[in-house]
Chain A
């Protein structure tokens, strides 16, 4: 029996790792650039093509299309950031798989221990967890989930997903 689901490897997108106190980050970056901080842990806030994921204590990930990477890099000035905050461009460190289809929940359940029902993991939920044994960032997308892993595990994940979908 095979599952009614499919996956694709998404092209690279811009991603910046932000660490530090919220007010220190706002002071350095400027509130007008960010889409606003999510008010809850493991939630995403999106606006104007940017999204900010609250993935840990004093830890956020800022995502955008790759076309905006240079613009964001100029605005965030990672190389000049004060000691209170850490800003690192990590666009090329992650590779993302989009898994979608009617049976997507079954496929995710093979590799991920999280409760991904909509009541426990709503539309704006995002979190680091494990996927086929590796650390992975999981979030919802239209019709399924986006799963990002460290890029060196990309081929392994592709193989695992291919086997899971059989």
Chain B
């Protein structure tokens, strides 16, 4: 079980949330980026052994989208969310 810190509700069970995917780097200019960089941005999902920045949606709660840093080795949220919207 993972407790995710919602900026509005506080810590809530992960079952109240929907995974929104990893935070990706800014979209490169498709006219300037190489094919390799473009395909990498489009298809490669960050999968580090350690902290990864992720988006989560408090879909069964207040509806807030938030960003956290989760350690993939321990499932611990190593850095909570600052944004709400």
Contacts and interface: CB of A to CB of B under 8 A. Distances in A.
Nearest to A113: B13
B62 A55 contact: yes
A50 to B, nearest CB: 22
Contacts, number: 45
Given A57-B85, A113-B13, A130-B16, A41 B8 contact: yes
Nearest to A112: B13
A129 B85 CA distance: 18
Contacts of B59: 135
Given A41-B8, A113-B15, A59 B60 contact: no
Interface of B: 8-9, 12-13, 15-16, 59-64, 84-85
Interface of A: 41-42, 55-57, 59, 113-114, 127-130, 134-136
